[in-house]
Amino acid sequence: MTERKQKTKEEHEKVYFTVIDYIKQLAMEGKIAFGGKIPSERELMNTLGLSRNSIREALRSMENMGLIESRQGQGNFLVNHMGESLNRVFSMLLFMGESDYVEISQLRRFIEIGAYLLAVRKAKEEDLDRLDGIWRGINQCSEEEKVKRDKEFHDEIIRISGNRLLSILNESLGDLFKTLIADLAMNIASNDWDELCRCHEKVSRCLRDRDIQGGMKAIREHYNIIDRDLEAYTKKAGNSEKAAKDREGAEGETENL
């Protein structure tokens, strides 16, 4: 990186943090909250003494991070779309081969165990009834609907935990994990679906009984099944890809004869 580019980057970062710190200050003073409109570009220019281009670049960066939302003809609003921003990060890591679905599953496992520990203390009767209703309906669903209800069950545990950071992490992984389960659903054995449903039931009953160890064991059993089927699915997909490459190679050699 040239000295000029490095200087430009440092200047942009300085502007970005200046705008961020000002928005944080407004929030701390109770002048703005999520869903509220932030000062206009002109107001930010006058208050912070920055150029319009610098302000726009900073706001664009904040929008990419899921911190603000631009609404046509209305201005910029403070939002909490950070889960979507993290989802893009995780998706890129998968695309670049810097992570994989096994690690996604492992992270989900840790998040859910932490959420369960909090949910044991916070779950209300209506929460428990809602969770019961979800797992009871899974057995009656189509494969596609099972995937949706499975995600709904795990999302509900994290919602009950009341931890907003866990919720943001869960949101960022939600679509990725839903895709994973949807892919697995086409290959997962019926008896494994039965086992997963039994795990849902165990978790729900343990949560109602405030049974920490029993609930954690059921969650681990659930993810052990997912990881086992994921390993088999990944191996099968890898073999199929290798076979396809071998065929392409053989066809290329034939053309050269």
pLDDT value of residue 103: 86
- Check residue 9 and give its pLDDT: 52
pLDDT value, residue 76: 92
For the chain, which domains are there?
10-80 (1.10.10.10), 84-247 (1.20.120.530)
Q: Which pLDDT tens digit goes with each residue over 65-79?
A: 888 888 888 999 998
Name the percent of the chain lying above pLDDT 90. Answer: 32
Give residue 187's pLDDT band: very low, low, confident or very high (50, 70, 90). low
Report the predicted TM-score, pTM, of the whole model to 2 decimal places. Answer: 0.70
pLDDT over 70 (residue 250):
no
134: CB partners within 8 A, 6+ apart: 149, 152, 153, 156, 200
* Phi-psi domain of 70 (left: phi exceeds 0; alpha: psi -120 through 50; beta: other): beta
Output the CA torsion 84→85→86→91 (10° steps). 80
Task: Categorise residue 51: left if φ over 0, alpha if ψ from -120 to 50, beta otherwise.
Answer: beta
The burial class, CB within 10 Å (0-12 / 13-18 / 19+), for 176 is: buried
93-103 pLDDT tens trace:
888 888 888 88
Where does the pLDDT of residue 247 fall: very low under 50, low under 70, confident under 90, or very high at 90 and above? low
- The residue assigned the tokens 């109602």 is 208
Q: What average pLDDT does the segment 185-209 reach?
A: 86
Q: pLDDT: is 163 or 12 the higher one?
A: 163
